[in-house]
Amino acid sequence: MKLLDRLFERSTRHVADTTSRRNFLGRLGSLMVAGAALPVLLPIDRTSKALAAETPKAGDPGDPNSCDYWRYCSIDGFLCSCCGGTVTSCPPGTEVSQVTWIGTCRNPGDGKDYIIAYNDCCGKHSCAQCACTRNDSEEPLYRPFNNNDINWCLAAKSSIYNCTIAVIRGVAI
């Protein structure tokens, strides 16, 4: 029993000699900050938040069925608004790809720049209506998230491309 007492006493004294309350409080504070930041840093699908932020309806000029619509400044593909869907939702029978390319487009209604995520809708063959190719903010292929020439349906259950939606992710600063 004395052996265990000595062992615990030595280990306790070693911990007491090598640490301090200030060190403990500093580490505890770091853990609290990291714990608070963790939900923001995790790769979680925040599509519902982005769709809820989609509110420039009053100042949303233009025809969503036209390639000249302001949200389509970096689009390359068929417009879902011509294929049975809308600007922000895929047609029935297709699913939205979870990976996307992005562009920054200016809304002429309010003069602000918006970050637009272009998601491909996958699962059915191309609707072949309202084909648009606009490359206003396209980057080279080695910057894939700013390039619209990739089949983004590779991240979906089906890699068959149907059309593309344009979802506002936020105001560009």
3-state secondary structure 55-87: CCCCCCCCCCCCCCCHHHCCCEEEEHHHCCCCC
Q: Which fold has domain 74-169?
A: Electron Transport Ethylamine Dehydrogenase (2.60.30)
Q: Three-state DSSP class for 121?
A: strand
Domain ranges of the chain: 1-38, 74-169
Q: How far apart are CA 50 and CA 87, in angstroms?
A: 13
Q: Which residues line the annotated binding site for substrate?
A: 76, 148-150
Q: What is the pLDDT of residue 43?
A: 56
Task: Give the tens place of pLDDT for each residue, 75-121.
Answer: 888 999 998 999 999 999 999 988 888 888 899 888 889 999 988 89
pTM greater than the 0.85 cutoff: no
User: Which listed residue (60, 101, 113, 136) is catalytic?
Assistant: 101
Task: Give the tens place of pLDDT for each residue, 27-68.
Answer: 888 888 887 776 666 555 555 554 444 444 556 778 888 888
Q: Which residues line the annotated binding site?
A: 76, 148-150
Mark whether 120 is an active-site residue.
yes
98 and 156 in contact (C-beta within 8 Å)? yes
Mark whether 101 is an active-site residue.
yes
